[in-house]
Amino acid sequence: MNGAQSLFKSLVDAGITTCFANPGTSEMLLVYEMGMTDEVRPVLCLQEDVVTGAADGYGRMKGTPAFTLLHVACGFANGIAMLHNAARANTPVINVVGANASYHQPNYPEHELVNGRVTDLARAVSHWCCESRSGSHLGELGAEAAALAKTGKVCTIVAPNDSHWEDATPPPIPPSPSGRPQVAPEAIASAAAMLSNGKKTGLVLGNLALQGEALEIAGRIAAKTGAVLLAETFPSRYLSRGEGRPPVDIIPYEYEMGTKFLEPFEQLVFVGAAFPVATFAYKNKPTLKSPPGCDLFAMASTEVDLEIALESLAEATGATGVPASRQPRTQAAPPSGELTAAAIGQVLSLLLPTDAILVDEAATNGPPIYEATKGAPAHDYLNPTNGGAIGGGMPLALGAAIACPDRKVVLLQADGSGMYTVQALWSMAREEADVIIIVLKNDAYAILGLEMARVRESETNAKMKSMLELGHPAIDWVDIATGLGVPATRAGTAEEFRQRFEAALGVKGPRLIECQIAFPKEWPALEELIHRTR
């Protein structure tokens, strides 16, 4: 047995059998050994952010990690943006990064970093990072990374290629993941007291509290106490929503919308979510979106068992056995005429399959679609931008489709951020991933128009606008998708979109619909409001 074989055995023994890969010269023995086993499924990706973003999507939906295969420090650097999002979401991911043979690294070949090593780079976006010293050590690191990643960590193994070919002993049996710590009884008692004091209360959920039995328990607590279930702005992992699920409102991203949304609340209790801090600092604006005087209490972090924490809170509030409130099925009338984000949301509310996976990188077009799909058939909702790095929509959808091949994945993709990782379309075609990609084409970085309104002293000029507009030259998503192997159509009206979406639902495999979206009529007024109150 060599080191490469030992590594793969350690991962397979831990149930980790899917690899998203963009290999290079230093990973060729790993590619060879992967090809010699039937137990590992490789998924080739054409750019490293597609690799790492797909591993993020896979880990969120599967609950167990995939592993990546990346080529030296430069390849790892190309995938850092999506690893940042994965780490912020506490997604289980294992990275295997090839490197020069240990004895060759001091010779400073051209792809060694100018001022540092790949391990220095990896630690910035990894909860754990280690470099193998031998073939046997490589297998040991695989077992260690497998156990830690399953607790919601990004783990990175740096593997010099002499450790691939060296003789190795069989790897140790992967240790079982250690149990998560429990919330202190005092924290449960404090939260229960807040939920019982009659004040307007939001129970803010994040991470694993937004799915499965944890969400059901939260729904019972809300029904008993009158608290409103809220979700962190960018739900990490995923949010279970739709018909029959406890209804949850997301705290809006935009500062003005977020502060208005939270204005009625007198207190907020956080379970697996962070305080509602503005994503960016704004001149003369408070840091928090919550109103002055609103009491904030962090009951449980993502490091604890959130389901058990909510069970304890349910017992303390007398909510055990209380029926949770349920989202009823709501169906909008079929839209007609102008194609807007709201019209797309209405079509989804009518046609979205039960148990679909809805990936939302719609950016400025997201809120009306989210609102319109509250009462759609039960589905899981993923937002890729937990860490603020855009471009995760397509990779996340790819990974989700590989993790859940029997579920339809629907991706809401803003045109600007979609161009960051457009190579994912090729992998979707190659793997026959069952994804419908809805490109929301407004030919602009529209959200930056709002951000410009916060800082400008006068009207924007042509030079400023040129850095926010994407229409010159026009991006033809139908041609791009077709060239990468994904059948594509376009829609310019609500009726056309419904027809195209219904047709895409009737086939397996990837389909792309380019939607020319009408700019929201309320947008200029919102920009002016932001400018006046900056």
Residue 468 has pLDDT above 80, yes or no: no
C-alpha 201/C-alpha 226 separation (Å) is 8
Domain annotation covers residue 173? no
The structure tokens 């850092």 sit at 80
Range with lowest mean pLDDT among 253-257, 301-305, 451-455: 451-455
Structure confidence at residue 180 (pLDDT): 85
- Claim to verify: residue 347 and residue 480 sit in the same structural domain: yes
Number of domains in the chain: 3
C-alpha 481/C-alpha 489 separation (Å) is 9
Of residues 152, 154, 156, the one with CA closest to residue 177: 152
Residue 529 has pLDDT above 80, yes or no: no
Q: Pick the residue with more confidence: 462 or 24?
A: 24
- Claim to verify: residue 288 and residue 391 sit in the same structural domain: no
Domain annotation covers residue 329? no
C-alpha 38/C-alpha 8 separation (Å) is 11
- Claim to verify: residue 358 and residue 279 sit in the same structural domain: no
Residue 528 has pLDDT above 70, yes or no: no
- Claim to verify: residue 190 and residue 157 sit in the same structural domain: no
Question: Taking the CB of residue 83, how many other CB atoms lie within 10 A of it?
Answer: 30
Q: For residue 522, which phi and psi values (nearest 5 degrees)? A: -85, -5
- The beta strand positions in 274-433, using DSSP E, are 295-300, 356-361, 379-382, 409-414
Domain limits for position 159 = 3-165
Under a CB-based contact definition with an 8 Å cutoff, are residues 528 and 504 in contact? no
Structure confidence at residue 523 (pLDDT): 59
Mean pLDDT along residues 444-448: 74
Domain annotation covers residue 323? no
Q: For residue 159, which phi and psi values (nearest 5 degrees)? A: -125, 90
Of residues 312, 50, 341, the one with CA closest to residue 191: 312
Check which CATH number belongs to the domain holding 113 and give it: 3.40.50.970
Gyration radius of the chain's alpha carbons: 24
Domain annotation covers residue 368? yes
C-alpha 217/C-alpha 324 separation (Å) is 8
Structure confidence at residue 534 (pLDDT): 54
Q: Parallel, antiparallel, or unpaired: how do β-strands 239-241 and 379-382 relate?
A: antiparallel
Task: Please classify residue 205 by burial: count the beta carbons closer than 10 Å to its beta carbon, then call 0-12 exposed, 13-18 middle and 19+ buried.
Answer: buried
* Average of per-residue pLDDT values in the chain: 93
Question: Taking the CB of residue 313, how many other CB atoms lie within 10 A of it?
Answer: 27
Residue 464 has pLDDT above 90, yes or no: no
Omega within 30 of 0 (cis) for the link into 473: yes
Q: Which value, to the nearest 10 degrees, does the dihedral of the CA atoms of residues 454, 459, 465, 469 take?
A: 70
Structure confidence at residue 437 (pLDDT): 99
- Give per-residue pLDDT as tens, 474-484: 999 999 999 99
3-class state of residue 379 by DSSP: strand
- Claim to verify: residue 514 and residue 428 sit in the same structural domain: yes
Domain annotation covers residue 171? no
Q: What share of the chain is helix, strand, coil (3-state, %, to 5)?
A: 40, 20, 40
- Give per-residue pLDDT as tens, 378-417: 999 999 988 889 999 999 999 999 999 999 999 999 999 9
Of residues 491, 511, 521, the one with CA closest to residue 344: 491
Domain annotation covers residue 328? no
- Claim to verify: residue 88 and residue 138 sit in the same structural domain: yes
- Claim to verify: residue 274 and residue 309 sit in the same structural domain: yes
Q: In what order do the strands lie in the sheet with 18-22?
A: 41-44, 18-22, 66-71, 93-99, 154-160, 128-131
β-sheet bridge partners, residue 489: 513
Omega within 30 of 0 (cis) for the link into 106: no
- Give per-residue pLDDT as tens, 42-73: 999 999 999 999 999 999 999 999 999 999 99
Indicate the pLDDT class of residue 279, thresholds 50, 70 and 90. Answer: confident
C-alpha 250/C-alpha 232 separation (Å) is 6
- Claim to verify: residue 194 and residue 70 sit in the same structural domain: no
Domain annotation covers residue 216? yes
Q: Pick the residue with more confidence: 117 or 214?
A: 214
The length of the chain, given as a count of residues: 534
Q: What is the DSSP letter of 102?
A: T
Structure confidence at residue 51 (pLDDT): 99
Check which CATH number belongs to the domain holding 248 and give it: 3.40.50.1220
- Claim to verify: residue 373 and residue 496 sit in the same structural domain: yes
- Claim to verify: residue 161 and residue 190 sit in the same structural domain: no
Residue 458 has pLDDT above 90, yes or no: no
C-alpha 204/C-alpha 195 separation (Å) is 12
Mean pLDDT along residues 226-244: 96
Of residues 90, 81, 84, the one with CA closest to residue 417: 81
- Claim to verify: residue 380 and residue 516 sit in the same structural domain: yes
Instruction: Tell me the three-class secondary structure of 416-464, residue by residue.
Output: HHHHHHCCHHHHHHHHCCCEEEEEEECCECHHHHHHHHHHCCCCCCHHH
Of residues 409, 404, 403, the one with CA closest to residue 436: 409
- Claim to verify: residue 66 and residue 120 sit in the same structural domain: yes
C-alpha 321/C-alpha 261 separation (Å) is 30
Indicate the pLDDT class of residue 520, thresholds 50, 70 and 90. Answer: low
Domain annotation covers residue 22? yes
Tokens read off for 461: 């000029």
C-alpha 477/C-alpha 513 separation (Å) is 8
* b/e map 152-178, b = 16+ CB within 10 Å: bbbbbbbbbbbbbebebeebeebeebe
End of a domain among 165, 200, 220? 165
β-sheet bridge partners, residue 158: 97, 131
- The beta strand positions in 233-285, using DSSP E, are 239-241, 249-250, 267-271
- Give per-residue pLDDT as tens, 105-118: 888 777 778 888 89
C-alpha 297/C-alpha 352 separation (Å) is 37
End of a domain among 165, 194, 218? 165
β-sheet bridge partners, residue 381: 239, 358
C-alpha 296/C-alpha 197 separation (Å) is 14
Terminal alpha carbon distance of the chain: 65
Structure confidence at residue 115 (pLDDT): 83
- Give per-residue pLDDT as tens, 158-213: 999 999 999 999 999 877 777 788 999 999 999 999 999 999 999 999 999 999 99
- Give per-residue pLDDT as tens, 331-368: 888 999 999 999 999 999 999 999 999 999 999 899 99
One-letter identity of residue 329: R
